[in-house]
Structure 1
Amino acid sequence: MGSIWELDYYSRPILDENNKKIWEVLVCESPLDTHTKADSLFRYAQYCPSTQVNSGWLRTALQEAINQAGEAPLKIRFFRRQMNNMITKACQDVGIPAQASRRTLMLNQWLQQRMEQVYPQEPGYQEGTNASVRLESPLPQRLPDALEGQQWIFVTLQGADFAEMHEWEIGFGESFPIEFANLSPSARIPGVLIFSPRALPLAGWMSGLELAWLRLDTNKGTRLILETGATESWILANMKNPQTIAEAKAFEEAKQKANGVHFIGVQFDRQAESFAGFWLLQEVNLP
């Protein structure tokens, strides 16, 4: 199986000699399972002068990253929608699919670390936020009728349970070591299991969505929302039963206590010992 990379190409809180913001490309490898070691993941960083910000410069940097890594990734994820055209073109020019995605766990952590420890040491550093441009997100969509789960329940696993995830029978899915989210083996990880006679088509459809995280929405009733891609979201469930609503609120509270980590699983029925799909997720605050 090949690798997946996460990419950010944006201005940093550093000014050059002409009082213009310096840009930077960051590339890091996505952890794909619970046994990934942090020091085994590829990383690449390079500053870019503001006068050279274009897809051509980014294409050259990507080619250099590929040369350093020794092989190209299967795809590249990026979360900044306003950079969509430039990033997509540069990736196409080196023959790699680009995917808008909020599943950028390692990139988010690396950016935070550089904001705190690297950029303040640079000449021209400007203290303060380096906020990204905020774009409106579309309203949540209904799941396709043929893919709606017949039943679903809230469940909880211990962090230690995920150490054996490589032994589980899973059709579609992705995970990461819970240690990457600063969680201990004793941490309680909440999740949702979906049961459907069309479990495999449902899991296959979900696998192409770049799953980001689940969240509880109480603005229009009580709904469980699945966030995907860079902006998309889906109504996984509408809740009206008081007990179910209480369970949903408990799920959301447990998720916050687990640093945003949670999971979603898809099975044929409650007696199934395998998963058509299983994803370990983390809700994060993107820059």
Structure 2
Amino acid sequence: MATVWELDFYSRPILDEQQKKLWELVVCESPLDTRRAPESLFRYAQFCPSSQVNSAWLRAALEEAISKAPAPPAKIRFFRRQMNNMILKACKELGLDAKPSRHTIALHRWLQQRMQEVYPKEAGFQLMAPAASVRMESPAPRALPDALVGQKWAFVTLEASAFEEMHEWEIDFGEAFPILGEHSLVPQLTPETPIPGLIIFSPRALALAGWISGLELAFLKVDLNSPARIVLETGASDRWILANLTNPQLQAEAKGFDDAKQKAQMVHFLAVQSSPQSESFAGFWLLEELNLS
């Protein structure tokens, strides 16, 4: 399985001797399945003076990270759109495939941990109010290509414990992360927690799953505004209409999905099968809607 890294390069709540914010590069490996313990994932962090924040410094730091890693990344994910140009430039110069992505779950958890356990120990740490965010408008969701529209779909749930055997399921395209036990990236979940999901059934299941796998999946969103629909969020801001909620019954089911997602700490899944009778999956992705800021 190819190695994927998650990357953040941004200022931290630490002031240097000149009272300028210290910047930091952090990279961590994506788990990709439910069995990877966070401590087994490659991690690298390096502080950067604000006077040296540029693509050249970032390129050199990434080279250092690669030299220490067990394997170079086949792909790099990053979520900060405001750093898009600098990250893409540094990665391109290193021949690395970098993608804007909101599927940075391991990185999100590590940054939370560093905010609690690492940064407060630095001499210049200051608990600062979050910077005012620049609102970036989300585009209107696009329709799926006609050839990839599923014929049927259904809301379903699986207990969290079921995902411990996900590595044994027959799946052509997919990705997951640990959600139970001491290695969980979502420690609030219990084995009995219902995890909601959406299954799409299509005679072109493999083609649909292959197309979806080429996207940087983020999460599913229920939009009950008119017209009500289920939206697949991908990349930094891309949005796709997976299904239209054309009647009150479907809208009630969608509301149930959304309520279950809230109770499951925003964890949910998307699956693709050829038919309801199929015992294999053309695609299966475990997702979490993150609050990235």
Answer yes or no: same fold by TM over 0.5.
Answer: yes
Q: Deviations over 1:110-157 (max 9, x none)?
A: 111222222222222221344454422212111111111100000000
Q: Contact 1:13–1:129 at 8 Å: present in 2 too?
A: no
Q: Contact 2:38–2:106 at 8 Å: present in 1 too?
A: no
**Alignment-derived partner of residue 49 in structure 2:** 49
Q: Contact 2:170–2:280 at 8 Å: present in 1 too?
A: yes
**Alignment-derived partner of residue 110 in structure 1:** 110
Aligned positions, number: 287
Q: Deviations over 1:14-38 (max 9, x none)?
A: 1112221111000000011111111
**Is it true that 1:224 corresponds to 2:230 in the alignment?**
yes
- Letter matched to residue 181 of structure 1: V
- Letter matched to residue 97 of structure 1: D
**Alignment-derived partner of residue 37 in structure 1:** 37
% identical equivalent positions: 64
Distance between the aligned counterparts of 1:202 and 1:6, measured in 2? 25
- Letter matched to residue 49 of structure 2: P
**Which stretches of structure 1, 4 residues or more, deviate above 4 A after TM superposition?**
none
Q: CA deviation at 1:95?
A: 1.7
Distance between the aligned counterparts of 2:285 and 2:241, measured in 1? 17
Distance between the aligned counterparts of 1:153 and 1:166, measured in 2? 23
Q: CA deviation at 1:85?
A: 1.0
**Alignment-derived partner of residue 242 in structure 2:** 236
Distance between the aligned counterparts of 1:42 and 1:14, measured in 2? 24
Distance between the aligned counterparts of 2:92 and 2:224, measured in 1? 40
Q: CA deviation at 1:184?
A: 2.0
- Letter matched to residue 237 of structure 2: T
Q: Deviations over 1:197-229 (max 9, x none)?
A: 111111111001111100111233321110000
Which runs of 5 or more residues in structure 1 are unaligned? Answer: none
**Alignment-derived partner of residue 211 in structure 1:** 217
**Alignment-derived partner of residue 191 in structure 1:** 197
**Alignment-derived partner of residue 172 in structure 1:** 173
**Is it true that 1:72 corresponds to 2:72 in the alignment?**
yes
Q: Contact 1:13–1:130 at 8 Å: present in 2 too?
A: no
Distance between the aligned counterparts of 1:221 and 1:120, measured in 2? 47
| Change in 2 beyond 3 A, CA 1:105/1:187 | same
Q: Contact 1:27–1:107 at 8 Å: present in 2 too?
A: yes
**Alignment-derived partner of residue 283 in structure 2:** 277
SS at match of 1:34: coil
**Alignment-derived partner of residue 161 in structure 1:** 162
**Alignment-derived partner of residue 62 in structure 1:** 62
- Letter matched to residue 212 of structure 1: A
TM-score under structure 1 length normalisation: 0.97
SS at match of 2:34: coil
**Is it true that 1:141 corresponds to 2:142 in the alignment?**
yes
- Letter matched to residue 81 of structure 1: R
SS at match of 1:204: helix
Q: Contact 2:266–2:290 at 8 Å: present in 1 too?
A: yes
Q: Deviations over 1:220-279 (max 9, x none)?
A: 332111000011011111112211111100000000100010001000111111111000
- Letter matched to residue 135 of structure 1: M
Distance between the aligned counterparts of 1:6 and 1:130, measured in 2? 22
* Root-mean-square deviation (Å): 1.2
Distance between the aligned counterparts of 2:48 and 2:134, measured in 1? 19
| Change in 2 beyond 3 A, CA 1:159/1:150 | same
**Alignment-derived partner of residue 93 in structure 2:** 93
Moved more, 1-10 or 113-122: 113-122
Moved more, 237-246 or 168-177: 237-246
- Letter matched to residue 29 of structure 1: E
Distance between the aligned counterparts of 1:129 and 1:229, measured in 2? 28
**Is it true that 1:267 corresponds to 2:273 in the alignment?**
yes
Q: Deviations over 1:6-65 (max 9, x none)?
A: 000011111112221111000000011111111100100111000000111011111111
**Alignment-derived partner of residue 128 in structure 2:** 128
